[in-house]
A and B are shown apart, each in its own frame.
Chain A
Amino acid sequence: MRTRPAGVAAVALGGALGTLARYGVTRLHPAAPGTFPWTTLFVNLVGAALIGALAGRGRVGPATPGAVAVSAGFLGAFTTFSALSVETVLLVDAGRPVPAIAYVLGTVVGGLGVCAVAWRVAGRRRSNPRAEGTAC
């Protein structure tokens, strides 16, 4: 399934806004390198919960430019894996391997957990994964 130009524009717009929103949150609550990255953890958990809720409502995937803008665009760019990775490295570099491992595991376990719970609370049953839209 190839994305039409409207889909690309939707991803670009959502991506720009999601990036600005993430940057805004990190400016409001900056974490010094090597300290525990609560802000990124918060951003990623919020984004995982929202994508789960949207999926539960059947609003994820390439159905409409609006759905693509929010799921692949905004939430895709609002959340981040590169910051998670580098903040983990910087915790290790600062001699704090235990918080580093807790950070990665906490993000992944917490993120998958809130995504699954939000999905279920928001509604729709997951019967056929191949029929679902995807959020990337």
Chain B
Amino acid sequence: MLIAALALAGALGAVARHAVTDTVGSAPERRAVAVLVINVAGSALLGAVVGLARAHGLGRDAVVIVGAGLCGGFTTFSAYAHLTVLLAGGGDELRGVALRTAVAGLVLPPLAAGIAFVLTSA
């Protein structure tokens, strides 16, 4: 049962991610920003889930389904790497986008997770 719920949550997360990136169009510089927003939002949600588990007794199954399933399926490292390498191979303007979204993508998701963790585990 847990495995079925985990698979369903992962599918939902992946479809939601694909829907968000589809909405911004196919330009890679716009998709890189969409992936950044997705990774910040999913990291904040997982920070809250882990905070609630630590301090307020959120159960292990909920952590697996929402955390490993929904947040894990929604956020992505492969698209972050793919888009960064893709943009880095473009012209000067796209290289600038690659650098900015790569650095923001390295700093902002852990920061969002940290804030959510501190707020929910208090």
Contacts and interface: CB of A to CB of B under 8 A. Distances in A.
Nearest to B113: A85
A7 B14 CA distance: 12
Interface string B17-33: 11101100111100100
A105 B106 CA distance: 8
A11 to B, nearest CB: 5
A8 interface: yes
Nearest to B42: A82
A37 interface: no
B contact face: mostly helix, strand, loop, or mixed: helix
Nearest to B112: A85
Q: Pick from B13, B35, B42 the residue with the most CB of A within 10 Å.
A: B13
Interface string B67-96: 111011111111111111111111000100
7 closest pairs, A vs B, by CB?
A19-B10, A15-B14, A85-B43, A136-B79, A85-B113, A79-B77, A82-B46
27 contacts: A11-B18, A15-B15, A16-B8, A18-B10, A18-B73, A19-B7, A23-B68, A23-B72, A44-B77, A77-B10, A79-B76, A79-B78, A81-B75, A84-B110, A85-B39, A85-B47, A89-B113, A105-B106, A116-B85, A129-B89, A130-B27, A132-B28, A134-B28, A136-B17, A136-B18, A136-B34, A136-B38
Interface of A: 1-3, 7-8, 11-20, 22-23, 26, 44, 47-48, 50-52, 55, 60, 62, 68, 71-73, 75-86, 88-90, 92-93, 104-105, 107-108, 111-112, 115-116, 119, 126, 128-130, 132, 134-136
